[in-house]
Amino acid sequence: MSLFVTELRRLGKRRVTRLMLVLLVVGLATVATAFSFSSEKLSPATVAAAEAKANNNYQNSVKEWQRSVSECEAAAARGDNTEERYGPNCGKDYQPQPDMFEANWYLPYQFDFRAEFPMFIAVFAASVALFGFIVGASFVGAEWNTGGMMNLLLWRPKRLTVLGTKLAALLTTVLGLTVVLGALWTAAFWLIASQRGSTAKMTAGVWRSIGLDGLRALAMTLLVAAIGFALASLGRHTAMALGAAVGIFAVSEIGIRIAVAVLGVQFGDRYVLSTYAQSWFLKQAELFDYHTCQFSQGACEPATYMVTWQQSAVVFGVALVGAVAAAFWTMRRRDIS
């Protein structure tokens, strides 16, 4: 227990941890504050103004259409060819309709908590995951690099216990931060929705769904932090984890995309990591194959492939187990010099 508390203290004392925490909090606060200015609560007056504007635009459009038809008929009477300029039947068949001018189009943006907050959970999770990755990698990478790990092992010559305790301290910190900052994040957006948006239709079922989104976000932050920690421990350097992350991103998001495009692989995005991240947050990701469509024969429903969050769980779970198991196996076997 003393080692766990020590490692928590060590992590909290580290400059990278403090700097990244400040950046994380400032970044999240900036996003929330900036977003609050973009939303405006709808009042009967703004709705009426939007309806009036929609109606006005509709009227103007009708007048313009009438003028165009009149010009066409006059030209036709002179024997001019009107079809090329005005279309068949002088465009009489294209009279503007009121439903073409919805009042919604003229309303200012209003944040809808129910519909849009899940997207902000993903933004939050990505931010905290980045924090966890960098702090986790640095926590163990710098320890290896500066000899701190060796010093610690001279005091506690149980390698797996030491590495496990460090990982536990990291995950506890990330868990605590995710819960606390997640609660503040939710409160901030609830406040924005209450004051400058809409909190309508927030049933118990919606809250349960948001809670599950939050749990998946939490799992993602812990997973990314653990993988960053494991990669840095494997390479005994923070840069190893950061380099691996850049490499994985380049291979997955650029290399594989190019390869599947060249090879003409159907639903190539199912081999791209970000598809699984998307499906993890949105519960599923639907891929389309427009190559199956023959547009010359009219409208087409393209072939689809569904990536579910359960599949994402398997992919990320395998990555997590692989990286952490390799880090512990190497820790057990390697000579420390």
Partner 1 sequence: MSAVLEIEGLRKTYRSRKRGVRRALDGFDMRVEAGQVHGFLGPNGSGKTTTLRTLLGLIRPNSGRMAILGQELPHALPAVAGQVGAIVESPQFFPHFSARDTLGLLAQAGELPKQRVDEVLELVGLRDRAGERVKTYSLGMKQRLAVASALLKNPKLLILDEPANGLDPGGIREMRGLMRELSENGMTVVLSSHILGEIQLICDSVTIISLGRRVAFGPVEQVLAAHSQGSVRVRLEAVGDLPQAADALTRAGVRVTTEPDHLLLSGVDKPATVSRLLAEQGLYVSELTPVAVDLESVFLELTATAPVPGQHRQVDQSAKVDQAGTTGGWGA
Pick 11 or 121: Cβ nearer partner 1? 11
Q: Determine if 9 is a binding residue for partner 1 (CB under 8 A).
A: yes
Q: Determine if 140 is a binding residue for partner 1 (CB under 8 A).
A: no
Pick 14 or 196: Cβ nearer partner 1? 14
Pick 2 or 294: Cβ nearer partner 1? 2
Q: Which of 98, 147, 176, 302 binds partner 1 (CB under 8 A)?
A: 147
Q: Determine if 295 is a binding residue for partner 1 (CB under 8 A).
A: no
Q: How many residues sit in the footprint of partner 1 (CB under 8 A)?
A: 27
Q: Determine if 337 is a binding residue for partner 1 (CB under 8 A).
A: yes
SS (H, E, C) the chain: CHHHHHHHHHHHHCHHHHHHHHHHHHHHHHHHHHHHHHCCCCCHHHHHHHHHHHHHHHHHHHHHHHHHHHHHHHHHHCCCCCHHHHCHHHHHHHCCCHHHCCHHHHCCCCEEHHHHHHHHHHHHHHHHHHHHHHHHHHHHHHHHHHCHHHHHHHHCCCHHHHHHHHHHHHHHHHHHHHHHHHHHHHHHHHHHHHHHEECCCCCHHHHHHHHHHHHHHHHHHHHHHHHHHHHHHHHCCHHHHHHHHHHHHHHHHHHHHHHHHHHCCCCHHHHCHHHHHHHHHHCEEEEEEHHHCCHHHCCCCCEEEEEEHHHHHHHHHHHHHHHHHHHHHHHHHCCCC
Q: Are the beta carbons of 274 and 253 closer than 8 angstroms?
A: yes
**Token digits of residue 311:** 């599949």
Span interacting with partner 1, options 10-18, 32-40, 167-175, 199-207, rule CB under 8 A? 10-18
**Minimum distance, C-beta of residue 287 to partner 1, in the bound complex (Å):** 44
Report CA-CA distances (Å) from 16 to 21, 134, 182, 220: 8, 8, 21, 21
Q: Which of 56, 95, 146, 195 binds partner 1 (CB under 8 A)?
A: 146
Q: Determine if 12 is a binding residue for partner 1 (CB under 8 A).
A: no
Q: Determine if 78 is a binding residue for partner 1 (CB under 8 A).
A: no
Q: Determine if 170 is a binding residue for partner 1 (CB under 8 A).
A: no
**Minimum distance, C-beta of residue 337 to partner 1, in the bound complex (Å):** 6
CA dist., res. 325 & res. 222, Å (int): 16
**Minimum distance, C-beta of residue 12 to partner 1, in the bound complex (Å):** 11
Pick 10 or 114: Cβ nearer partner 1? 10
Pick 150 or 300: Cβ nearer partner 1? 150
Q: Determine if 335 is a binding residue for partner 1 (CB under 8 A).
A: yes
Q: Which of 152, 220, 234, 240 binds partner 1 (CB under 8 A)?
A: 152
Span interacting with partner 1, options 77-85, 152-160, 234-242, 301-309, rule CB under 8 A? 152-160
Q: Determine if 236 is a binding residue for partner 1 (CB under 8 A).
A: no
**Minimum distance, C-beta of residue 166 to partner 1, in the bound complex (Å):** 11
Binding site for partner 1 (CB under 8 A): 2-3, 5-6, 9-10, 13-15, 142-143, 146-148, 150-158, 333, 335-337
